[in-house]
Homo-oligomer: A and B are copies of this chain.
């Protein structure tokens, strides 16, 4: 039999390859693979469903990620997918594969993080599957949510001249990861266990990496302001990759202005220290879990007063492509390096 390496397709390519030509038999299925969450219609209001698999050595490194934080993050990233559909997360199930390296106390820590996230976001933990693993820790979380049919926002609704907005700041979680990685490498051969002058004053970067929050607040503020985004998704793989998804699915192009991308000062400072280009980090660094959305240009006045929402560009005709407009007006084609787990593996 032929052997095609998965790395030749990448994560998105593989998913697309495996899930094309899927037929639906259930009248309750509204939308399947391809958005932040699937959409079902059970007698009226819509049920949303999303799933995430987190694997030790790929998605997290327990050398510097406390188990409680890991549990919190594993739950929150799923909530983020439901908010990105303009829905409300309601229930999760948790699948855990645990090697004998872990103790009951370790699992209590992990669960305490999951429970804390559930409490904060008003989500119920309703089921799961716990089993042994040969190696490492596996966390599989599936989240249900709900939304009124008319509220749901998909990735494919962006229209020419729509405004492109992002929330918070970008690249910060990535810089948090760089900080942790640098420290981990510095600690090699250091048996004193001491540290960590380098973290001082940079707690925010660590928090963005270790304990991200889902932007429930923005979803609420957009609703209050009467803004219904035309397209939306959460930024887990970097702005470049995500806006290209929206453009492709919506059949449009975009112009993103480099100088409009919100950057955290401390993140920029660290990037300079580490000889990294912070804009590249903001465009391609993963795990910010901020929201990317488009909305009608007539919503401009309503949009401006909303705190922590930033206008970064606009939707163009498809023939213009997906562009990054540099500080001097130069036009660059947006590169979706993304944060692809398969690329990541190749580096391991």
Chain A interface residues toward B at CB < 8 A? 1-9, 11, 14-15, 17-19, 22-26, 28-29, 31-33, 37-38, 40, 42-45, 47, 49-53, 55-59, 90-91, 93-98, 100, 102-105, 107-108, 111, 115, 118-119, 122-136, 138, 140, 142, 144, 146, 341-342, 344-345, 348
**A51 pairs with B91, CB closer than 8 A:** no
Q: Which one of B17, B32, B95 lies within 8 Å of A53 (CB-CB)?
A: B95
**A144 pairs with B95, CB closer than 8 A:** no
Complex alpha-carbon distance, A269 and B22, angstroms? 43
**A19 pairs with B144, CB closer than 8 A:** no
Which 4 pairs across A and B sit closest by C-beta, in order of nearness?
Answer: A140-B140, A132-B345, A38-B126, A53-B95
Chain B residues closer than 8 Å to A24, beta-carbon distance? 124
Chain B residues closer than 8 Å to A91, beta-carbon distance? 26, 28-29, 38, 40, 49
Copies in the complex: 2
**A104 pairs with B6, CB closer than 8 A:** yes
Given A26-B91, A104-B5, A140-B95; A134-B53 close (CB under 8 Å): no
Given A38-B126, A55-B133; A142-B104 close (CB under 8 Å): no
Complex alpha-carbon distance, A137 and B135, angstroms? 11
Q: A142 to nearest B CB, angstroms?
A: 4
Among A45, A56, A58, A125, max chain B CB count under 10 A is at A125
Given A33-B127, A100-B5; A146-B18 close (CB under 8 Å): no
Chain B residues closer than 8 Å to A345, beta-carbon distance? 100, 132-134
User: Can you give 7 A-B contacts (C-beta < 8 A)?
Assistant: A5-B100, A14-B107, A26-B91, A33-B125, A51-B140, A53-B96, A135-B136
Complex alpha-carbon distance, A57 and B100, angstroms? 14
**B40 pairs with A43, CB closer than 8 A:** no
Given A17-B104, A93-B142, A107-B18; A126-B33 close (CB under 8 Å): yes
Complex alpha-carbon distance, A348 and B131, angstroms? 14
**B8 pairs with A104, CB closer than 8 A:** yes
Secondary structure class of chain A's binding surface, majority of residues: mixed
Q: Which one of B42, B52, B105, B118 lies within 8 Å of A4 (CB-CB)?
A: B105
Complex alpha-carbon distance, A140 and B129, angstroms? 10
**A129 pairs with B2, CB closer than 8 A:** no
Q: Which one of B51, B124, B127 lies within 8 Å of A25 (CB-CB)?
A: B124
Q: A20 to nearest B CB, angstroms?
A: 11
Given A22-B125, A43-B43; A49-B93 close (CB under 8 Å): yes
Q: A237 to nearest B CB, angstroms?
A: 12
Complex alpha-carbon distance, A265 and B38, angstroms? 45
**B29 pairs with A129, CB closer than 8 A:** no
With A28-B90, A57-B133 known, 14 other A-B pairs at CB within 8 A are A3-B105, A19-B125, A25-B124, A29-B126, A32-B124, A37-B127, A42-B42, A51-B93, A52-B129, A53-B129, A55-B131, A58-B97, A58-B134, A132-B345
Among A9, A11, A29, A51, max chain B CB count under 10 A is at A51
